[in-house]
Amino acid sequence: MEALDDRAERIRLIRDSAGAIVPAGDLKRVRALRYHEPGFERAVWRQMCGLGWLGLRVAEDAGGSGLGMREYCALAEECGAGLLPEPLIPCSIAARVLAGPQLGRLLAGDTIVIPAWQEQANSLALDGGTVLRDGRVSGHKRFVSMAAGADAFLVSSNGGLALVARDAPGVTLTIDRTQDGGHYGTLTLERAPAQPVAGDLAEAIEEATLATAAYLLGVTEGAFAMTLSYLKTRQQFGKPIGSFQALAHRAADLKIEVALTRASVEAAAATLDTSPVAAVRQAAVSRAKARASDAAMRVGRQAIQMHGGIGYTDEYDVGLYLRKAMVLANLFGSAALHRARYAEVAVEDDDD
């Protein structure tokens, strides 16, 4: 069994490596990329791939690192604190399913493959009306994250998974802007040529849901850290406003929100690393995602209010955290959906 100290050191190194891509407190690049397609930089994407980020959950014999969810969540948290726009989590789903040369090109950063699996809002269902037959796929996929930057899409259908090139005949992509300056794509497929892919997205979607919760934890921490710094430096009546009892109590409440979210995400990551029971894993993921979604929205709103008038301006960075929370809170299922799923799977687990 691996020593705990060794794993803790590895997680620390992963967090440190994020500093090269996600500098703490510097959101100039994030601002520059907002509302522009594709919404991220290919050069930064290749740098991330060169650091091995995309292959964290890929087996070593397939070209990855074969690390656990605790490492992946630590990385996602750091990305959230810096509001990283590159599609790490969506592409990590594809990396868990692809194999051979397709996977090699993805891990090297030469291609960007983004999953297209949702057909309705606020759902974790993978099946639907998309049909794969005779090497061609037809149907509609919605809420495809950062779709404008994709070279290909990994499409789920009732005939299995299929790899579809973005520029293939029969592929139409419509882009809708999101609050954070990114976008979702709606993919319309009309007998588009497709390459069948063996595998199942279900487990990769669970991991991506937890990674999104970890990213939201980072968003929450970023908003809280910025607010705490403001309370310590902004002065009224000759004193830092953080010394005023009302604001100090609100800050203490936010710190508790951050701590509870961290505990939930870390517990879920440990569960996914150790438990083979599907219901237990799903319950852990849903608990963490519900907690992270609610906390990111609550802390984000409080951060805006505690900054006063300047917090409501788009030019001030604290608003970027709330905008990101607004987009990600419902991605991979809302807090309400995950509370309902938690209640369902927890009851089934107790009955067993």
CATH number at residue 76: 1.10.540.10
The pLDDT, as a whole number, for residue 347 is 63
The pLDDT, as a whole number, for residue 144 is 97
Which among 197, 228, 244 is the end of a domain? 197
CB-count exposure of residue 244 (10 Å: 0-12, 13-18, 19+): middle
Specify whether 332 is located in the same domain as 224. Answer: yes
The pLDDT, as a whole number, for residue 350 is 45
In whole angstroms, what is the distance from residue 298 CA to residue 290 CA? 12
Specify whether 31 is located in the same domain as 172. Answer: no
Cβ(117)–Cβ(56) under 8 Å?
no
pLDDT tens digits, the chain, 352 residues: what are they? 566 778 899 999 999 989 889 987 789 999 999 999 999 999 999 999 999 999 999 999 999 999 999 999 999 999 999 999 999 999 999 999 999 999 999 999 999 999 999 999 998 888 778 999 999 999 999 999 999 999 999 999 998 999 999 999 999 999 999 999 999 999 999 999 999 999 899 999 999 999 999 999 999 999 999 999 999 988 788 888 877 888 899 999 999 999 999 999 999 999 999 999 999 999 999 999 999 999 999 999 999 999 998 999 999 999 999 999 999 999 999 999 999 999 999 865 444 4
Specify whether 340 is located in the same domain as 318. Answer: yes
- Structural domain of residue 334, as residue ranges? 202-351
Which among 49, 83, 108 is the end of a domain? 108
What per-residue string of b and e applies to 248-270 under the rule 16 or more CB within 10 Å gives b? eebbeebeebbeebbebbbebbe
Cβ(56)–Cβ(75) under 8 Å?
yes
The pTM assigned to this predicted structure is: 0.95
Specify whether 212 is located in the same domain as 327. Answer: yes
Which residues, 6 or more positions from 278, have their beta carbon under 8 angstroms from its beta carbon?
Answer: none
Specify whether 54 is located in the same domain as 136. Answer: no
CATH number at residue 318: 1.20.140.10
Q: Is 115 helix (H, G, I), strand (E, B) or coil?
A: strand
Pairing, β 160-165 against β 152-157: antiparallel
Specify whether 101 is located in the same domain as 118. Answer: no
> Structural domain tally of the chain?
3
Specify whether 119 is located in the same domain as 79. Answer: no
CATH number at residue 118: 2.40.110.10
The pLDDT, as a whole number, for residue 351 is 45
Specify whether 206 is located in the same domain as 80. Answer: no
Specify whether 262 is located in the same domain as 312. Answer: yes
Task: Tell me the CB-side half-sphere exposure of residue 194, using CA atoms within 13 A.
Answer: 30
Give the rounded distance of the alpha carbon of 137 from its chain centre.
Answer: 27
Specify whether 212 is located in the same domain as 297. Answer: yes
Specify whether 230 is located in the same domain as 332. Answer: yes
Which among 62, 77, 108 is the end of a domain? 108
Specify whether 294 is located in the same domain as 234. Answer: yes
